[in-house]
Amino acid sequence: MTRSARKRKRIPQRTCVGCRSVRPKRELVRIVRTPEGCLAVDDTGKRSGRGAYICPISDCWEKALSKGHLSRALRTSVTAETRSQLREYAADLRPEAGALEKGVGEDE
């Protein structure tokens, strides 16, 4: 735990393309447009290419995909195949912010 003792650094902030909220970059998932023009989830945050950020919340992914925010942010079209890959990734994420606190379930 010595790392926190270091001088305070400015935390890079990014905007989620789904809900438009600004969060520390490390709390977001990066999507990168590869040189081949495909989109990939960048788990390391270090791949080169144009990136977009989305909260680790499946709701945000759905918004980003269904409303075209992701394709606009990355200036590319999202193919049906890519979309389903990203949805698959999002399926493992929390459905919405605070879902864990409330207990998972839809109580609309």
What is the tally of helices (H) and strands (E) in the chain? 4, 5
Nearer to Zn ion, 21 or 37 (CB): 21
Tell me the CA distances in angstroms from 47 to 32, 44, 67, 71, one per residue in order: 7, 7, 25, 18
Instruction: Name the segment binding Zn ion (CB under 5 A); options: 30-38, 57-65, 73-81, 84-92.
Output: 57-65
Q: How far is the CB of 81 from Zn ion (least distance, A)?
A: 23
Nearer to Zn ion, 19 or 74 (CB): 19
Instruction: Name the segment binding Zn ion (CB under 5 A); options: 11-19, 34-42, 71-79, 88-96.
Output: 11-19
Note whether 11 and 4 are within 8 A (CB): no
- Per CB under 5 A, does 70 bind Zn ion? no
Q: How far is the CB of 25 from Zn ion (least distance, A)?
A: 13
CA angle 3–4–6, rounded 5-degree value? 75
Joined together, the tokens standing for residue 23 give 């969060």
Query: Rule CB under 5 A: which of 16-45 touch Zn ion?
Result: 16, 18-19
Q: Positive or negative CA dihedral for 78, 29, 91, 34?
A: positive
Q: How far is the CB of 98 from Zn ion (least distance, A)?
A: 12
